Structure 1
């Protein structure tokens, strides 16, 4: 397991480009596999999670090839054309792949088994199993509703109206994807808006998706037995990946970097608003729309950050960015309070508890609450760093590893993390980009 120590950094400067958005990359491969004909995808994130989706779609009958120029070509045979996989679908570490594919297969007339790594096999799938069971699919899951799991699809499945009990783009997407091959109209009621890549991209591929309001809540309807048309997809840069460089530039004195081609979808850009609320200088340049998604280049400069109370209503639009926001809060002046983050306890790790321990080990003053962290900032003074012969436990969680790497850039003695290998699941070029920005 490759341990690594991240040290106080020179200013981060120059222009960088982060890999493609993970959420959009997963969906591009799935929807292209369901369209009738050849689709092309540029800017696909080539991390392990997305490659798990590509491998699964190949097992289900799609032809997927990567060209030498980095463009992916996908040949689909249409909605309802998927084939029963001959062996278990190995999802690796990817919760998104698992939950979305469970939805996709719930309305196909065959069985499939899902497996995953140790981390994924501990994550609950009941929140997806429940609505998909209402649509007619049946499941045999391991204890606690976890993987390994066997799904038997229903053909035809039954359209439902499902009100999300918890804000989750993955559950919403699973139900909508099950609705693709279900006669009639499948509806999802969303009390709190979550990332809307599924709705945007399905519309782009030619599905009939209607978005309205009912009693002040968002109502998304999809017309079944859809006929998807092949598309050319350009994947914008992942705001979750850009967040690590935003925070690094804000906390390392003298930094001034531009991050090109970042997706600025309002359901994902909460981290930008939160960092600006704390006094961060983040400027949007060259704003534009690519494939139905808003995109901008972000210029980020070192800033004197102030502690803030982060509105829990922002959580769905930045749920994956809280670990690195905690790092920004540690270097801010005053106290930052976060609440409404129960979802973080069932991610790749319990991110509230694991980050509290990690930041404390690196010299921060942190109080763990049931649904968030209270962080007392240093006012810009560097963290002490991890003690000699001690390393942060990343718990196989890529976002913990990258967040604590960023913390190391603003520490006196460096921050050691026990394993950098998980970073490859979402951001294989992270370490190289960090080095490039510090030497520009």
Structure 2
């Protein structure tokens, strides 16, 4: 991501948003499709891959470790894998850009291979702590040299054979769970992860499709996910459904701009990812599911979203794992609701691409929205459907979700809301501004 020349951006809407949009492929599934394909023997094909900077960082790292990863002229990605245990020593540092997902999952991959890899990233990623993933991987035998605070740059040395472990997640994290499972693929015996609070389950679903011996059972301590190494993965043809996190921006935009009527096509409806839909419906949003269907083992639907009067709620804390990336745009929805919305139980927001609790509290406050900050969330005083005052330039802290959330807020603001830099948006949604304009919004570059 080039941050040398910031590109301030403002979105505005002179009337309703209308039309049909198709959001990019789901980011979580895109990362995993590349990773598991790189460990299969033979050619896997991936259609609908998210071609944002985060996923491209994963693709580049896998190439550096021996996999053939290429996009065809037909838009289909073809991956020739090296097999479990077949990763090669990278000759240079692996540049993760802004992608925490790439970093944590690739660390899991390397942990059980006899190679050494150095991970570097941009300024934002280099501030994010990695201790929650180095801890279980160290128990499996990997060793680490990190910057102070368990941060990047980070060099790790994998161990082969690694040691199978039984690990209970101290906080709900699909990334940590998936990193341990990835390490377990090349570890003799059973590697188990216990999650007291269920998180997104794409790794478990997809690994089964690739032929791994993965079991999931319920216990009094939570879900126990087990993988048996040393696995042999079979190549697959994968269709990536639309990212619900990206769809969330248009759900909220259509909900808050009077007269809007938007259909968002092919949205992933995995129950571990639909927390935002649940929360918005609790607030009174008009979200209808059209043509619900199964694609590649996942449920998808087209979502029709129309403008609606939103009411404040106490957001159930148990929704957090299923909408952790969508809290910034939920906070925007709350700014237009009637009453005081309280959203807590989201400690994880403090260690995302930015401190998303502090960043959104500052952004909304600067735009005239009353906020109270907690250690695990926000309380937001809604405007009852009226335009928020706006008139601020927002610091995005190199965070794509802060950037997109606040330009959506500007669609129904009395005065322009400008984000300081739109460049980070490309990490997950390269076509975001074009889609906004196709729905009737006006983009102004400052």
TM-score of the alignment, normalized to the shorter chain, above 0.5: yes
What is the TM-score with the length of structure 1 in the denominator? 0.98
Residue 68 of structure 1 and its aligned partner are, at CA, apart by: 1.1
Aligned to 1:410: 412
Residue 215 of structure 1 and its aligned partner are, at CA, apart by: 1.2
1:81-100 correspondence runs (5 A): 81-100=86-105
- Conservation of the 8 A alpha-carbon contact between 1:237 and 1:262: yes
Aligned to 2:438: 436
Change (3 A) 1:439 1:171: closer
Aligned to 1:165: 170
Is 2:133 the counterpart of 1:128? yes
- Conservation of the 8 A alpha-carbon contact between 1:35 and 1:76: yes
Aligned pair partner of 1:43 in 32, 43, 48 = 48
- Conservation of the 8 A alpha-carbon contact between 2:411 and 2:441: no
Is 2:26 the counterpart of 1:21? yes
Distance (Å, rounded) in 2 between the aligned partners of 1:291 and 1:185: 27
Q: Report which stretch shifted further, 242-251 or 70-79.
A: 70-79
Aligned to 1:189: 194
Distance (Å, rounded) in 1 between the aligned partners of 2:377 and 2:13: 27
Distance (Å, rounded) in 1 between the aligned partners of 2:22 and 2:9: 24
Change (3 A) 1:110 1:218: same
SS in structure 1 at match of 2:24: coil
- Conservation of the 8 A alpha-carbon contact between 2:247 and 2:264: yes
Distance (Å, rounded) in 2 between the aligned partners of 1:5 and 1:44: 28
Aligned to 1:394: 396
Aligned to 1:420: 422
Residue 13 of structure 1 and its aligned partner are, at CA, apart by: 1.0
SS in structure 2 at match of 1:233: strand
Distance (Å, rounded) in 1 between the aligned partners of 2:236 and 2:214: 17
- Conservation of the 8 A alpha-carbon contact between 1:8 and 1:414: no
Residue 402 of structure 1 and its aligned partner are, at CA, apart by: 0.2
SS in structure 1 at match of 2:175: helix
Off by >4 Å, runs of 4+ in structure 1: none
Distance (Å, rounded) in 2 between the aligned partners of 1:82 and 1:160: 22
Aligned to 2:239: 234
- Conservation of the 8 A alpha-carbon contact between 1:385 and 1:412: yes
Residues 395-422 of structure 1 deviation map (CA, whole Å, 9 limit, x = unaligned) = 0000000000000001011211111010
Is 2:319 the counterpart of 1:314? yes
- Conservation of the 8 A alpha-carbon contact between 1:334 and 1:377: yes
- Conservation of the 8 A alpha-carbon contact between 1:7 and 1:413: no
SS in structure 2 at match of 1:409: helix
Distance (Å, rounded) in 2 between the aligned partners of 1:115 and 1:381: 44
- Conservation of the 8 A alpha-carbon contact between 1:107 and 1:154: yes
Is 2:259 the counterpart of 1:254? yes
Distance (Å, rounded) in 2 between the aligned partners of 1:30 and 1:9: 44
Residues 248-307 of structure 1 deviation map (CA, whole Å, 9 limit, x = unaligned) = 000000111110000011111100000000000100111111111111110000000000
Distance (Å, rounded) in 2 between the aligned partners of 1:151 and 1:36: 25
Aligned to 1:116: 121
SS in structure 1 at match of 2:439: helix
Distance (Å, rounded) in 1 between the aligned partners of 2:144 and 2:375: 31
Residue 313 of structure 1 and its aligned partner are, at CA, apart by: 0.6
Is 2:243 the counterpart of 1:243? no
What is the TM-score with the length of structure 2 in the denominator? 0.97
- Conservation of the 8 A alpha-carbon contact between 1:131 and 1:175: yes
Residues 6-29 of structure 1 deviation map (CA, whole Å, 9 limit, x = unaligned) = 224421111110000000000101
Q: Report which stretch shifted further, 207-216 or 417-426.
A: 207-216
RMSD of aligned Cα (Å): 1.0
1:63-82 correspondence runs (5 A): 63-82=68-87
Distance (Å, rounded) in 2 between the aligned partners of 1:212 and 1:12: 45
Is 2:276 the counterpart of 1:274? no
Aligned to 1:287: 292
Distance (Å, rounded) in 1 between the aligned partners of 2:361 and 2:324: 16
Distance (Å, rounded) in 1 between the aligned partners of 2:16 and 2:209: 41
Aligned to 2:3: none
